[in-house]
Amino acid sequence: MQQTIRIIGIDPGLRNTGWGVIESLGSSLRFIASGTIKSDAKLSLASRLCQLHDGLEAALHEFTPHEAAVESTFVNKDAGATLKLGQARGIALVVPARAGLPVAEYAPNKVKKAVIGVGHGDKEQIKLMVNMLLPKATYDSDDAADALAIAICHAHHRGPTNARLEAALANENIARAS
């Protein structure tokens, strides 16, 4: 028996962390919500990371996903920027993990391939395909659109390894109905 799985996709960044929540039932996808957590550049790094933590925790609390997917870090020429992105990514990994969610990681090229069919593409192509796959989707930034793409990628790649989660959800639904 298939269960609806709620997935949060997270596009980590120190300035802006996008998040998007979808539901997946078989090959059917449904938009739930999305948003962007913005950190205040005037604050210390620690305070900015706290802002990201608190924003992601609030999204998890409000939309109660079953699984999380996070885009993996790419290394660029600016080591300092890469390090800060890595710290933001650490927040994006630990918040859902602390909430008890399984957390998957996907390379940017894998996300693009899952959503637009090729491993390279621009933001506009991603937004176009997100809109086609999730016609009711709304998002307030490119980061939130990317987060929805990450969630879509996870829905396509999650596979049979999560059969235990589906069974647990089915048992939980049966217990609630009793």
Sort 164 into a burial class: Cβ within 10 Å, 0-12 / 13-18 / 19+.
exposed
Q: What stretches of the chain show up as alpha helix (H) in DSSP?
A: 45-63, 79-98, 108-116, 123-133, 142-157, 163-177
Our answer to whether residue 71 is catalytic in this structure is yes
For residues 86 and 114, what is the distance between their CA atoms, to the nearest angstrom? 23
Q: Which of 23, 40, 62, 71 is catalytic?
A: 71
| CA–CA–CA angle 56, 61, 65 (5° rounding) | 85
Q: Are strands 5-11 and 16-25 parallel, antiparallel or unpaired?
A: antiparallel
Q: Which of 142, 143, 146, 166 is catalytic?
A: 143
Q: Is 64 left (phi over 0), alpha (psi -120 to 50) or beta?
A: left
Question: Which residues are registered as beta bridge partners of 6?
Answer: 23
Q: How many CA atoms lie within 13 A of 161 on its CB side?
A: 9
Residue pointed to by tokens 């859902």: 96
Our answer to whether residue 11 is catalytic in this structure is yes
Our answer to whether residue 40 is catalytic in this structure is no
Q: Which of 11, 23, 67, 146 is catalytic?
A: 11
Active site positions, annotated: 11, 71, 143
